[in-house]
């Protein structure tokens, strides 16, 4: 069963989401060539704890860090470490925050210095596909309306949509029903209702859609080694335009 949140719960979820949004802006400012991804993770954990919140990813299924940092061909779930960012990299940062038992979840992919035109287009199209999906997160639509909007934009630009990982409900837990695929599946999927809070998160590969998991058991990479991008927001479904809770 998907969760409908009442006004009080939405208020708490908004607080968690605000921290997520502010943290991503801060991380974008400090992610520069030469910076180690584990330094970004330390800064993120400080930022979250100073706001009286808890990093939701840390220790989730034994994930070791507060954020996921996924570089170039890494799709999602990259573990921050001693890797130093290079000019021309693209870096996906995924953040989850637990504030008073309520959750927000968002991700961005950012260019490190000057990146190639192909990578730049990948970022622009992936972000645009997120907003195309969000526009369909309206009361009485179906999950498949979101999926179709994302897939159409991505494939129309010659890129591919990852199948093995999908968006999800979020709010009282980090992962809730319903799953939100970024590609067409049989049927229309569950109906969206006002009061649902959803993490919509297209993962877009430059070439083939297939992914594999690295030996660290977390990092998801493209099978063909080409780059991948990831954008995500937590949104509130309403009767009319959805509210993007992680946008600050
Ligand atoms: Mg998510």
Centre of ligand 1 to C-alpha 200, Å, is: 7
Q: How far apart are CA 20 and CA 164, in angstroms?
A: 25
Backbone angles phi, psi at 99, to 5 degrees: -115, 115
User: Residue 129: how many CB atoms within 10 A of its CB?
Assistant: 27
Residues with Cβ < 8 Å from 50, sequence gap 6 or more?
none
Range of the domain at 99: 7-244
- Residue 2 domain flag: no
List the CATH number of the domain containing 78: 3.90.230.10
pTM: 0.97
In a domain, 1, yes or no: no
209 Cα–ligand 1 center, Å: 19
* Residue 15 within a domain: yes
State in Å: Cα 196 to ligand 1 middle: 15
* Residue 1 reports pLDDT greater than 80: no
pLDDT band at 3 (very low <50, low <70, confident <90, very high): confident
pLDDT, tens only, 108-128: 999 999 999 999 999 999 999
Question: What is the distance in A from the centroid of ligand 1 to the CA of 105?
Answer: 6
Q: Which token pair is 145?
A: 């309306």
CA of 168 to the centre of ligand 1 (A): 7
Question: How many structural domains does the chain have?
Answer: 1
68 CA to centre of ligand 1 in angstroms: 11
């Amino acid at each position: 069963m998907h969760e409908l949140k009442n006004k009080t719960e939405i208020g708490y979820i908004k607080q968690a989401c605000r921290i997520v949004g502010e943290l991503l802006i801060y991380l974008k400012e400090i992610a520069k060539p030469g910076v180690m991804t584990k330094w970004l993770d330390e800064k993120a954990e400080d930022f979250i704890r100073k706001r009286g919140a808890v990093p939701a990813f840390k220790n989730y299924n034994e994930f070791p860090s507060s954020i996921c940092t996924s570089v170039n061909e890494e799709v999602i779930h990259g573990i921050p470490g001693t890797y130093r960012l290079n000019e021309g990299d693209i870096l996906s940062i995924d953040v989850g925050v637990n504030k008073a038992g309520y959750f927000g979840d968002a991700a961005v992919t950012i260019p490190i210095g000057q990146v190639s035109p192909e990578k730049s287009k990948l970022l622009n199209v992936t972000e645009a596909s997120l907003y195309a999906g969000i526009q369909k997160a309206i009361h009485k639509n179906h999950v498949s309306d979101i999926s179709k909007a994302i897939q159409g934009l991505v494939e129309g630009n010659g890129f591919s949509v990852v199948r093995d990982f999908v968006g999800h409900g979020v709010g009282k837990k980090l992962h809730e029903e319903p799953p939100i695929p970024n590609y067409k599946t049989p049927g229309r999927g569950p109906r969206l209702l006002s009061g649902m809070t959803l993490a919509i998160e297209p993962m877009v590969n430059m070439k083939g859609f297939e992914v594999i998991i690295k030996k660290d058991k977390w990092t998801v990479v493209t099978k063909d080694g080409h780059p991948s991008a990831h954008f995500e927001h937590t949104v509130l479904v309403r009767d009319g335009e959805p509210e993007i809770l992680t946008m600050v």
